[in-house]
Amino acid sequence: MSELSIKGLHVNVEQKEILKGLTLSVAQGQVHAIMGPNGTGKSTLAYTLMGHPRYTVTEGEVTFKGRNLLDLSTDERSRLGLFLAFQYPVSIPGVTVANFLRTAVNARRKAQNPGDRGIPIPEFRKLLREKMDMLKMDSAFAGRYLNEGFSGGEKKRAEVLQMAILQPEIAILDETDSGLDIDALRIVSEGVNLLREQNVGVLLITHYQRMLNYIKPDVVHVMMGGTIVESGGADLALHLEEHGYDWIREKYENGIISG
Ligand code: ADP
Ligand code: MG
């Protein structure tokens, strides 16, 4: 069982403290949702976990599968089984979705076994077809240039496909629901649910409750001012949908919960 465990994490961005002692554990097969107002540090958490150089950890620890994650490069984190779906994926003109995915698969294979000659093309095609069928994606999608002219929904689908092919143990999705119409939202959610069935642990960062209509989280956390101020079950998200964040903000500001 691989677990991502974050303890008392403090993170600075350009000398400014954004995360202020955040503690959280995600086990494989669990879905944890992190909700919270804009500017509270949700993306900062996602980037820090993947090792983005702009985010400096000043205090606290993060372990993954018993190893100190903070000692590892982004590449090593990914090979260890951590995956981050970006809030704003970049496009790569000239590189097809299929080629991109095959390169990613081969990089991982080579890292595990330096003598690896790469996945045979027929085997890769089979893998790709299987995953695209699973996600109900049109096969023409694989021949398009990555993210080039993709709609918001297509970008997110490409991320979910990448995740299905790389089979991480813990996936972090940062606002994968933003800019999605209801159909795309459903498809992405179904993809996430399929991954969960395959025992992937998911850290689902979202500003809105609506994605949680399709993905039932095991735990919902509310983040405010760089720390988690409230945790609960799926019903906490519904409560937030109805009452907003003000009631938590008031509790927080009145010192009933300490950050
Ligand atoms: P959220 O994802 O919850 O909306 P962010 O983590 O994006 O919040 O941002 C938290 C705070 O950190 C904000 O005040 C934001 O302006 C600041 N911040 C985040 N990333 C950067 C950056 N790369 N450079 C400067 N400030 C940043
Ligand atoms: Mg964000």
**Considering every ligand atom, which ligand is closest to the CA of 35?**
1
pLDDT in tens, 204-255: 998 777 888 888 999 999 999 999 999 999 999 888 888 888 888 888 787 7
Alpha-carbon gap, residue 138 to 131, rounded angstroms: 11
H or E element at residue 4: strand 3-13
CATH topology of domain 3-253: Rossmann fold (3.40.50)
pLDDT in tens, 13-41: 999 999 999 999 999 899 999 999 889 99
Alpha-carbon gap, residue 157 to 186, rounded angstroms: 11
pTM: 0.87
The closest alpha carbon to 225, from 12, 9, 19, 47, belongs to: 19
Residue in the block written with tokens 């496909």 = 161
Q: What is the mean pLDDT of residues 48-68?
A: 95
Paired tokens of 230 = 């409230």
Query: Which sequence spans correspond to the domains of the chain?
Result: 3-253
Question: Is the CB of residue 41 below 6 angstroms from any atom belonging to ligand 1?
Answer: yes
Question: Is the CB of residue 176 below 6 angstroms from any atom belonging to ligand 1?
Answer: no
What residue owns the CA closest to ligand 1's atom 11? 39
Q: What distances in angstroms separate CA 134 from CA 105, 138, 189, one per listed residue?
A: 18, 11, 13
Alpha-carbon gap, residue 40 to 259, rounded angstroms: 12
